[in-house]
Amino acid sequence: MTTSATRCLLRTLDENYALEDYQSGVPRWCIGCGDNAILAAVQRLCRDEQLPPEKTVFVSGIGCSSRFPHYMHTYGFHGLHGRAFPVAEGIKLKRPDLHVFVVTGDGDCCSIGTAHWIHAIRYNMNMTVLMHDNGIYGLTKNQASPTSPQGLKSNTTPRGAHLEPINPVSVNLGIRNVSFVAQAVDWIPELLHDIIAAAYHHKGFSFVRVVQRCPEYLPDRYDPWVKNPDRMLLLSHADGIQISPELSRVYRHQEKHDPADRNRAREIASVSDPMPVGVLYRNRNMPCYEDLREPDKPYTPSMVGAALNREFDKFTIWPENGEDGGAGKRG
Q: Is residue 80 part of a domain?
A: yes
Is the same domain home to 212 and 331?
Answer: no
Is the same domain home to 188 and 307?
Answer: no
Is the same domain home to 165 and 313?
Answer: no
Split into its structural domains, the chain has a count of 2
Q: Is residue 75 part of a domain?
A: yes
Q: Is residue 201 part of a domain?
A: yes
Tell me what pLDDT residue 137 has: 93
Is the same domain home to 178 and 313?
Answer: no
* Domain of 311, in residue numbers: 300-331
Is the same domain home to 151 and 186?
Answer: yes
Tell me what pLDDT residue 326 has: 47
Is the same domain home to 128 and 181?
Answer: yes
Q: Is residue 11 part of a domain?
A: no
Tell me what pLDDT residue 78 has: 96
Is the same domain home to 183 and 70?
Answer: yes
| Among 45, 50, 43, CA closest to 20 | 43
Q: Is residue 264 part of a domain?
A: yes
Tell me what pLDDT residue 308 has: 87
Q: Is residue 275 part of a domain?
A: yes
Tell me what pLDDT residue 307 has: 86
Is the same domain home to 93 and 236?
Answer: yes
Is the same domain home to 171 and 202?
Answer: yes
Let me know how long the chain is. 331
Is the same domain home to 80 and 121?
Answer: yes
User: What are the 10-residue block averages of pLDDT along the chain, 331 residues in total?
Assistant: 52 78 95 97 98 98 96 96 96 94 96 96 98 94 94 92 95 96 98 98 98 96 96 96 96 97 97 97 96 72 86 86 54 48
Tell me what pLDDT residue 305 has: 87
Is the same domain home to 330 and 217?
Answer: no
Instruction: Give the C-alpha separation, 169 to 261, whole Å.
Output: 15
Q: Is residue 235 part of a domain?
A: yes
Q: Is residue 240 part of a domain?
A: yes
Instruction: Identify the CATH number of the domain in which residue 225 sits.
Output: 3.40.50.970
Is the same domain home to 126 and 237?
Answer: yes
